[in-house]
Amino acid sequence: MSSKPSRSAWPALPPRRTLAFRLSAAYSLAGLLLVILATASLYIVLRTELDRSTELFLADKLHVLRTMLRERPDDEDALREEIELESQARRYQQFYIRLLDEHGVPIMTTPGMTEQLDLAELVGRTSSRSERSIAMAGRHGQPFRITGATVAVGTPATHSDTVQIAIDVSQEEELLARYRLWFWGILLVTSILFPLVGYRIARHGIRPVEEIAATARRITSTNLRERIASQGYPLELESLAGTFNEMLGRLEESFERISRFTADIAHDLRTPVNNIRGEAEVALARSRTVDEYRDVLESSLEESVRLSELIGDLLFLARAESPLTELHRESVNIGELLTTVRDYYEASATDAAISLVVNDGTERFNAQLDRSLMLRAVSNLVSNAIAHTPPGGTVTLAATNEDAAIRIEVFDTGVGIPAEALPRVFDRFFRVDPSRSKSSGGTGLGLAIVQSILTLHGGSAEITSHLGRGTRVMLRMPAPAIATR
Amino acid sequence: MKILVIEDEVKTAKFLKRGLSEAGYVIDVAADGLEGLHLAQEVDFDLVILDVMLPVLDGWQVLARLRETEQKALVLMLTARDAVHERVRGFELGADDYLVKPFAFSELLARVRSLLRRSTPRPQDAIRMADLEIDLLRHRATRAGQKLELTSKEFTLLTLLARRAGEVLSRTLIAESVWDMNFDSDTNVVDVNVRRLRSKVDDPFPVKLIHTVRGAGYVFEAEP
């Protein structure tokens, strides 16, 4: 039906798979269907109208003759004029009339009727069905509509005659034939035109899509900065391009974060390795005392421990992101968990002159969670809180049992975190104050680990902070808590 | 006590052999799984230290075949992967203990000792070291007759050190045993706690009992 586009937008794909092809095929099919429907219905209307006018003409003639034979059966002149001359006067629409008496003997016949029509056939055909027009072919193959009727003669009727009328409908047939020719012509033209025009339109509409695809193909990790210029696109495609650009933005951001992360890892690994290497090289450059050797060995052991911890944390983060990681949930008493953490850090807090308390309001309830992971998360928070709270301050641990969710909070009266740093505190290796963590020995992964632990539990970690007033971290997780007596 | 070390990494095998020999064990080393399996089947070892990543036969295969035979040797697995399912798999196949690389040698030694300890230590009522006396029943510690004012956690920590006198205890092990912090926690917290314990147990007295082993942990012993 529709022609295949010769140029395919994506040479790798068969043309049937392209959107332009599908669209133009759909346009063409729809257009052609409409054209066929319109022309065919016009044709049918025309045909019925022509048939009806023929029928009316025949009925009309019959009516005239019937009236004449009933009212003035002896007015032969009038009859003759009606039967023999009326038809003669016409040029295009030829009709023929025969009048037969009750014995079937012709009384009057329109001249030329015998050579146009096989009269025997005419009699045979009209005898059975009176007053209905039927199609019949003439002697020269021309189409006729014929009808016959029995007509009462005189008032009151003395006897009845038979009237037979035949009308040559070749004019109408020719008109219809011309119409049909037009019809096929229109169909041929539109079936060529529609696919071409449709394809042009579709291609034009799809061009932005191709531009988006081309941009996507161009983009690699090295030029994630590139964006699609979507000015002048239709609304739907503009939104597609916009969405695509947003995705690129997110990718770029993740990519930068990973790059930074990798650089940070390299840097954080480099320092201890550099220390081990340098100290060992210097130690071996000349002979040393036993104590000096011991010092180097101890130092390298310290650095190795640092490395081990860092690697452990990195592995933990990597594993937490794997979908295969499974939690070992058990029933854990939240109050006891917080107390465990408090006991562990109590000495550190006392040293720093900070009071570390578990909130009185903390309910004693059990929840299904991974104890050692949650212990780790809360410990990281407490460790941070103690590190950033000046002497005389307080670090508080609290837990609340909400409906179908539990909330663990750690808040301090410490130095707080500047607002601009707040969104990034959960990032790996992010340090609010890069200089201080080195000395406190943190890997800069503490909060990232907290977040991944909460993610594993299907929960979230949120942080709020006011400079100089303190920081509050909230751990929320959906865990049906089981109240304990 | 005979120990078989199956480890393909030369340096690791070397320091294990040396460290364990110095701790008083007899050590054999095999560099691949198959060799290790043959050795273990020929000689009666008390303990097999088995690396998971091995050439020829990996640690899992060696473990499975060992458990098929009559070998009663205890097995301590070493692995670079600490995924939980690995650990579970190890225990399912009949490993007796499991250690993740990188590990502290003191940690390994502690595990080897506890595995090879023939009998469980008989419950003690008291531990004495120099002039320190720990009364385990009454939860009291005295030094040179003076009562030491210890918090319950400090008492637990002191008891742990004293029970395993002479062993280097890593910070991780201490955090786990005393505070139930079973992960690589913020270990400088252990340092703070030990320092506070020292201020009560050692500082006022001439003989020091708690010693720092730099980079490794703490050891409890009376100075010679």
SS3 A17: helix
What's the average model confidence in pLDDT over A193-213?
83
Cβ within 8 Å of residue A277, ≥6 positions away: none
What is the distance in angstroms between the Cα of B24 and the nearest Cα belonging to chain A? 23
The region of weakest confidence among A78-92, A391-405, B40-54 is A78-92
What is the pLDDT at residue B26? 94
pLDDT in tens, B60-106: 889 988 888 877 789 999 887 766 667 777 788 888 888 888 888 88
The region of weakest confidence among A152-156, A184-188, A463-467, B7-11 is A152-156
Residue B145 backbone class (left: φ over 0; alpha: ψ -120 to 50; beta: rest): left
What is the pLDDT at residue A9? 45
The region of weakest confidence among A2-6, A43-47, A142-146 is A2-6
Residue in chain B closest to A302 (alpha carbons) equals B215
The dihedrals phi and psi of A291, each to the nearest 5 degrees, come to: -65, -40
Tokens 């055909």, residue located: A125
> From chain A, which residues contact B within 8 Å (Cβ)?
298-302, 304-305, 307-309, 311-312, 315, 319, 326, 328, 340, 343-348, 350-351, 372-373, 375-376, 379-380, 383, 441
In which residue ranges of chain B is pLDDT below 50?
119
Cα A461 from Cα A450, distance rounded (Å): 7
B214 touches chain A (CB under 8 A): yes
What is the distance in angstroms between the Cα of A289 and the nearest Cα belonging to chain B? 18
pLDDT in tens, A49-61: 988 988 888 888 8
Q: What is the pTM of this model?
A: 0.61
What's the average model confidence in pLDDT over A430-444?
61
Task: Flag whether pLDDT at A10 surpasses 50.
Answer: no
SS3 B168: strand
What is the pLDDT at residue A485? 44
Q: Which helix (H) or strand (E) holds A299?
A: helix A290-321
Residue in chain B closest to A382 (alpha carbons) equals B186
What is the pLDDT at residue B5? 95
Q: What percent of chain A has pLDDT over 70?
A: 89
The region of weakest confidence among A117-131, A285-299, A304-318 is A117-131
Tokens of A161: 């005659």
What is the pLDDT at residue B83? 64
Tokens of A225: 């900065």
pLDDT in tens, A339-381: 999 989 998 899 889 999 998 767 678 888 888 889 989 999 9
Cβ within 8 Å of residue A417, ≥6 positions away: A425, A432, A463, A465, A467, A471
Mean pLDDT over all residues of chain A? 82
A18: DSSP letter: -
Task: Flag whether pLDDT at A3 surpasses 60.
Answer: no
pLDDT in tens, A457-472: 889 999 998 888 889 9
What is the pLDDT at residue B91? 80
Cα A217 from Cα A422, distance rounded (Å): 36
Mean pLDDT over all residues of chain B? 86
What is the pLDDT at residue A129? 60
Tokens of A289: 């005392």
Cα A309 from Cα A376, distance rounded (Å): 14
Asked if A372's CB is within 8 angstroms of B183's CB, the reply is yes
Cα A464 from Cα A473, distance rounded (Å): 6
Cα A374 from Cα A454, distance rounded (Å): 8
In one-letter notation, the amino acid at residue A63 is H
